[in-house]
Amino acid sequence: MSDFQSLTGQLLVAMPAIGDPRFERTVIYLCAHGPEGAMGLVVNRLLDNLTFPDLLRQLNIDADGIDDRIEVHFGGPVDSGRGFVLHSADFQQDSTMVVDDEIALTATVDILRAIADGRGPFRSMLALGYAGWGPGQLDGEILANGWLSVPADSDLVFGPDQDSKWERAMAKVGIDPLLLSGDAGHA
């Protein structure tokens, strides 16, 4: 019997010991975590060179009248040309992966059309690329003090204030980021 504990639906918060500048001060929503590996999306880092209307135009979707306040996130360093929409579970298609009662993931052009037409999910976050880990890799990084697991909530995942998400995620578990050290140790 396995004692594996899935962190699917949790937030991963980068600790100072992360050791990878691509993930420094990131918050990742973990879409899947199992013995075969893990996959998640960075929810607090925006791409500054691409807007939602630009993306729609690249996909030959009418972008006239589209709200340009919809931001495009850096989802992670893996497959950076692939798009993902993390969204409220009120919207589902055949290809939608339901993560939990509140959040789902869809990676089709159809969801972008639905958002553009005003038929999309109540809340959503568009990301290019994802963060991925092979079997046991994420668990090893957590044990090495690279990540902290924090319960997810919709405001942290979908909220607009990108700059404060890392601090707010730390505060959820009572941690003052100013008191953190990058050194891992054992008692």
User: pLDDT of 111-132, one tens digit each?
Assistant: 999 988 888 999 999 999 999 9
Residues in CB range of 15: below 8 A, 6 or more apart: 145, 146, 147, 148, 180, 182
Rounded to whole angstroms, how far apart are CA atoms 78 and 22?
11
| Res 187: pLDDT | 43
Q: Which is it for the CA torsion 72, 76, 80, 84, positive or negative? A: negative
Average model confidence (pLDDT) for the chain? 89
| Res 2: pLDDT | 58
Mean pLDDT of 10-24: 91
Query: Strand, coil or helix: what is 87?
Result: strand
- Summarised one tens digit per residue, pLDDT across range 25-61 is 999 999 999 999 999 999 999 998 888 888 888 888 8
Largest Cα–Cα distance of the chain, in whole Å? 59
| Res 186: pLDDT | 43
Tell me the pLDDT band of 83, cut-offs 50, 70 and 90. very high
| Res 62: pLDDT | 81
Rg (Cα) of the chain, in Å, rounded?
A: 17
With contact defined as beta carbons under 8 Å apart, do 99 and 105 qualify? Answer: yes
| Res 136: pLDDT | 93
| Res 185: pLDDT | 47
| Res 1: pLDDT | 42
| Res 178: pLDDT | 60
Residues in CB range of 153: below 8 A, 6 or more apart: 172
Of 85-94, 135-144, 172-181, the one with minimum mean pLDDT is 172-181
| Res 99: pLDDT | 96
Is a pLDDT exceeding 80 seen at residue 181? no
Look at 176 and 166; give whichever has higher pLDDT: 166
Domain regions of the chain by residue span = 10-165
- pTM for the structure as a whole: 0.90
What CATH class does 10-165 carry? alpha beta
Mean pLDDT of 140-147: 92
With contact defined as beta carbons under 8 Å apart, do 99 and 155 qualify? Answer: no
| Res 90: pLDDT | 95
